[in-house]
Amino acid sequence: MSCPAAQKTHYAHPFDDDKLKEECGVFGVVGISDAANFVALGLHALQHRGQEAGGIVAHDAATGFNSAHRFGYVRDNFTKSSLMETLPGDVAIGHVRYSTAGSKGAVIRDIQPFFGEFSMGGCAVAHNGNLTNADALRRELIERGAIFQSSSDSECIIHLMARSIQRKHADRIADALRRVEGAFSIVAMTRTKLIGVRDPLGVRPLVLGKLGEHGYVLSSETCALDIIGADFVREIDPGEMVVIQDGHVESSRPFGPSTGRFCIFEHVYFSRPDSMIGGRSVYETRRAIGVELAREAPVEADLVCPVPDSGTPAAIGYSQESGIPFALGITRNQYMGRTFIEPTEQIRNMGVRLKLNVNKSLIRGKRVVLVDDSVVRGTTSRKIKDMILDAGAKSVHFRIASPPTAWPCFYGVDTPNRDKLLAAQMTEEEMREWVGVDSLKFISLDGLYRAVGEAEGRDNSCPQYCDACFSGEYPITPSDQLEKGFEMKAAE
């Protein structure tokens, strides 16, 4: 069904294009009655990973496969009993989306999970990540007769499954994924099985949970297990496939041996602070980033203030290490949901003030350290600096909890073109002058690695994480982008 009214509504932070947009979130449940209700709760916990749209597919022995795809927030759609009653069954998967490939401002057919009917029965697939050879695959598949329904790269997986000669769904999924390049964490379902797969480098996250006596859960993050009362079992390994049926988990390695290169920006920004990654609290990692920042870039100041909300743990760490008092000098409006009507330039220029407001009585006359997670285009940093100075601050110092973002991501993050990234065009000093602050310092790449638990820093000969957005070293060749003229960093 179409949803024309929803298509005209923009979500998340429409006035703020100065943040990297979270990729997507996937969630699946098997072995529990009314599985779709648990999936809806899980997707709600993963809403930070994608606010554009969401979808759920469920299977019931009596009614077969049923699906619902909607634009907007989970809370606005999948909390209605009239909708959830159409999704019965004890196996279900779901997806929240922020488009990283295909059309922006998508149509309903772009919303995952995608479904295919095969000779051995139906199968639904939800994908977090991005396929870097999707354009070439799409051309090949269309030439061979495939009819695409969406603009999403993820639909290639369904078409590749259809061409496999394997007789089991899991084997067809493995066949399809051997043809693709890029980053993928997949949650799929058949009539009786829940299937999870991570790409050989494990760029995007995927975890396994246990729910009750016979139920199992697959999720992008552990925080979504918590909301439904599931126990964390373990992370799905890079290059691993799990097939869950009748309370049993079968593991295989369809891509052979692999070494992980998990996305380091999950630690910095994407994952929720109450999630766990690699046995380590995301909150604690972000606090440790602040500690490293204080050691690398000290400054004399009166207050350490986070840029809400993602800068808060790092600001706490910076304050603890430096001894400078922590203060909430900026307050976030928690109810910034849908776009306000913005008919004039004057109203549009108020965008950041709709989201953030400065505590003037606290800031006035103070030397302020502002801690933020990243600088992308730099436009919001300039506006926040102006707000702090307008409130009477004596000086403003920016401390950034990630290295300069100088390269686009092609693995599931909606990143601007390189010519729109401030760090790709300017030195750190030039950025400081452009933003207009007294000092601007980023954590070093080695400092970031130390904060995530690598005591010796980055292993330059074999990096432990995917950090291409900082280093320009892409662990997976972005074939489609090279074909379009993208120039990779020259080997040093």
Encoding tokens for residue 27? 């969630």
**C-alpha Rg value of the chain to the nearest Å:** 23
Average pLDDT of span 355-378:
94
pLDDT at 14 over 70: no
Q: And the tokens for 156?
A: 């290639």
Both structure tokens of 483: 């074909």
Would the pLDDT of 2 be above 60? no
Contact 398, 372 (CB under 8 A): yes
Q: Which pLDDT score, from 0 to 100, does residue 465 have?
A: 98
How far is Cα 242 from Cα 206, in angstroms, rounded to an integer? 11
- The per-residue pLDDT for 102 is 47
Instruction: Give the span between the Cα atoms of 123 and 449, in whole angstroms.
Output: 39
| Cα 144 from chain centroid (whole Å) | 33
Q: Which of 18-22, 89-93, 174-178, 201-205 has the lowest mean pLDDT?
A: 18-22
24 is catalytic: yes
Contact 371, 307 (CB under 8 A): yes
Q: Is 80 exceeded by the pLDDT of residue 169?
A: yes
Task: Determine the longest span between alpha carbons in the chain, in angstroms.
Answer: 72
Terminal-residue alpha carbon distance, the chain: 52
Q: Which of 3, 24, 156, 462 is catalytic?
A: 24
Token digits of residue 14:
């429409």
Helix (H, G, I), strand (E, B) or coil at 4: helix
DSSP string, 225-254: HHHHTPEEEEEPPTT-EEEEETTEEEEE-T
Query: Across residues 238-251, what is the average pLDDT?
Result: 97
pLDDT tens digits, 260-301: 999 999 999 999 999 999 999 999 999 999 999 999 999 999
Of the ranges 235-239, 379-383, 402-406, 430-434, which one carries the lowest mean pLDDT score?
379-383
Average pLDDT, the chain: 91
| Neighbouring-strand partners of residue 67 | 57
* Residue 341: pLDDT band with limits 50, 70, 90: very low
Tokens matching residue 384: 């926040």
With cut-offs at 50, 70 and 90, classify the pLDDT of residue 309: confident
Q: Secondary structure of the chain: what % helix, strand, coil (to 5)?
A: 30, 25, 45
Alpha helices (runs of H) in 452-491, residue ranges in sequence order: 468-471, 479-483
